[in-house]
Amino acid sequence: MIKILLENFYVQLLIIGLILTLVYLQLTKKRLNEPPIVYYRYPIFGHTFQFMTNCEKLIEESREKYGDAFTLYIFGKLMTVVRKDAIYDVYKKEGHDFNFQESPEVLLLTKYLFPYAAIDVNRSIKILRDFFKLKLANNTSKIHQTIIESMNEFVGECVEPKLIKSPNELLLNTYLRIAANLIVGEECASYVDILETFKDLFYSVYKSFFMPKLLSFIHPWLHDQVASFSLRFISNHRSKIINRIRPVIERRLLNKSKLGDSWDAPVDCLQLFLDDPEIAPDFNPNHVNYNMIVDTIGVFMFASMGITSNAAAYALVELAKRKKDYWQELYQEAQEINKKSNGKPTYKDFNNMVKVDMFIKESLRFNSNVLSVPRPCVRETYTFANGFQIPYGRPVFLDISEISFSEELNGQNPQEFDAHRHNSPATKPDNGFLIFGSGIRACPGRFFAILLAKIFLYHVLLNYNIKAELENAKHKQYAGFFIGLLKPGKAGIVFEKSA
Ligand code: HEM
């Protein structure tokens, strides 16, 4: 049959026509002026293992050899790293030519792990942004009180010196209570099981995120299925959280319908789902969409937990290591605020702790990630000002650590820790400080994260003497963002009650 077909003149003509068309398309295909691909020795694996084990060195060497932009081959994918001015260009074009929310890391979160949150991510983020901008002041004393309680429980009075082996874990437990309080509200946060569920959820999602993407060598979809499997099919986190928030929501709705405007509604994110038309335009009190609420809360909790507790832990570890140079001035500032406010500092008082703010900012700069979350190019071809072009779908990493350690942008001796180099608040993204991103996607939680770190340091300064377990401890071994393994360093802190 095939033989007869192939002998047919018209079929032969068709095949020749197809071949000629393919050759023509290939010859006339627009060649892009792509950034050079960094040399790699092993086909298929490309730069994957170097990226996972020593990303810092890989990027440093590639900068030197390949200049302004270069492309790496990681987990079966070409990924372009851009530097300097191209970084600000990408931030400016976010939402048009690039889209952070389309990055596989963010999609894993919104599409596979918390699928009901995907209704309108931008609307939820706007609410989060407004909540932290407008409602943080009302919550300051609640945050302060939770820090005092957590420190009493996890660290104690420390009449005798006490070693806290993992400041990250201490801050994660503290942050969990604070975030739960602000996000699901005081009542829900008082249940130990909901805190445990959030913590389990965090660790499960964290593992999915940092799981080496070996299956991506075959296809990224396969990796996502395996990474999200346990959370989607085994964990019953959603029903556990719903069991706790359902009675709270029902009570709130009842109070609202009974008391109307005279009801004093709680100031937390959960309440926004119940009465903010922007976040829940189709809200029906008789048909509450619990899945959407729980998954959106899941995204908020995951986006904030690890990174925020790490940030406060960096500041604590840096303070312990640099006590000689900074303790006295920071202690004085904390003491002045404490005196002025009779031991009850307000949001404004914490905002006035400028020296502590600069110290936190420097800790963040000094512990900067090597690269940003990669975001894909979402237009057919994008041409950078330096002439390089990338095709649709190409993930782009921003070389953040080069900015953080640039002498031109951050002053003399950028490799040294110097909190006095800063002259603007830690919450303000500027050209030399991109830890919270920049532009329309700049982190909506940054005001909250910095306030929390400030209150935490304020409490430590006034109540403890601290010492680094190992003076030269490196907080963590740096890795590329969200891909591969992240090894936390050993950086224990010894706490002792202050005289
Ligand atoms: C020190 C702590 C934190 C750091 C360093 C941090 C850093 C970042 C960065 C770099 C981005 C991406 C911006 C971009 O690349 O365009 C981001 C986005 C985001 N962050 Fe944070 N963040 C922190 C704390 C928080 C907190 C406390 C929350 C919420 C409770 C939060 C929620 C988010 C969300 C929802 C986004 C996505 C924004 C969007 O897509 O428009 N973050 N953060």
Rg of the chain (C-alpha set) = 26
Q: Is 76 in the pocket of ligand 1 (CB under 6 A)?
A: no
What residues does 465 pair with on adjacent strands?
Answer: 496
Sign of CA dihedral 168, 169, 172, 173: negative
Does the beta carbon of 300 sit less than 6 angstroms from any atom of ligand 1?
yes
Residue 441 CA, ligand 1 centroid: distance in Å: 8
Per-residue pLDDT, 138:
87
pLDDT for the residue 488: 47
Taking 70 as the pLDDT cut, the residues of the chain under it are 1-2, 5-6, 26-30, 118-119, 234, 276-281, 471-490
pLDDT at 30: 64
Q: Tokens representing 176?
A: 């969990």
Pick the CATH number of 48-491 from 1.10.287.3240, 3.40.190.10, 1.10.167.10, 1.10.630.10: 1.10.630.10
Token pair of 366 as six digits? 């000094």
Task: Please tell me whether residue 389 adopts helix, strand or coil conformation.
Answer: strand
Atom of ligand 1 nearest to the CA of 398: 15
Cβ 495 vs Cβ 189: under 8 Å: no
* 401 and 58 Cβ atoms separated by less than 8 Å: no
The CA-based angle 321-327-329, given to 5 degrees, is 145
Q: Residue 372: CB within 6 Å of ligand 1?
A: yes
For ligand 1, the distance from its centroid to the CA atom of residue 435, given in whole angstroms, is 9
Ligand 1 pocket check for 310: Cβ under 6 Å? no
Structure-token pair, residue 304: 């904030």
pLDDT at 499: 75
Q: Is 303 in the pocket of ligand 1 (CB under 6 A)?
A: yes
3-class DSSP state for residue 49? helix
pLDDT of residue 490: 61
pLDDT of 149: 94
* Sign of the CA dihedral running 170, 173, 176, 182: negative
Its sign, for the CA torsion 305, 196, 149, 465, is negative
E runs forming strands in 75-119: 77-82
Residues 405 and 383: their CA atoms lie apart, in Å, by 27
What's the rounded Cα separation, in Å, for the pair 360 and 244? Answer: 35
Which residue, 71, 77, 94, is CA-closest to 390?
71
Of 408, 446, 394, the C-alpha closest to 425 is 446
SS3 32: coil
Containing 190, the helix (H) or strand (E) segment is none
437: Cβ below 6 Å to ligand 1? yes
Task: Kindly indicate whether the ipTM for this predicted assembly is greater than 0.85, answering yes or no.
Answer: yes
Give the Cα separation of 62 and 184 in Å (integer): 45
pLDDT given for residue 426 in this prediction: 97
Q: pTM for the full model?
A: 0.88
- Contact by Cβ (8 Å): 405, 60: no
Asked if residue 443 belongs to a known ligand binding site, the reply is yes
The answer for residues whose C-beta is within 8 angstroms of residue 191's C-beta and 6 or more apart is 244
Q: Which of 436, 451, 481 to mutate to test the pocket of ligand 1 (most atoms within 8 A of CB)?
A: 436
Residue with tokens 């770190």: 453
| Residue nearest ligand 1's atom 29 by CA | 445
Residue 140: C-alpha distances to residues 229, 282, 313, 445 (Å): 38, 32, 20, 15
304 lines ligand 1 (CB under 6 A): yes
Tell me if 309 CB under 6 Å of ligand 1: no
Residue 459: what pLDDT? 97
Q: Which residues of 95-133 are buried (b: 16+ CB within 10 A; e: fewer)?
A: eebbbbbebbebbbbbebbbebbbbeeeebbebbbebbe
pLDDT at 47: 94
Burial class of residue 431, CB neighbours in 10 A (0-12, 13-18, 19+)? middle
For residue 350, the CA-to-ligand 1 centroid distance in Å is: 21
CA-closest residue to ligand 1 atom 43: 443
pLDDT in tens, 235-257: 788 889 999 999 999 999 999 88
- Cα of 97 vs centre of ligand 1, distance in Å, is 20
How much of the chain is in helix, strand and coil states, percent to nearest 5? Answer: 60, 10, 30
Convert the pLDDT of each residue in 211-225 to its tens digit. 777 777 788 788 888
User: Where along the chain do its domains lie?
Assistant: 1-30, 48-491
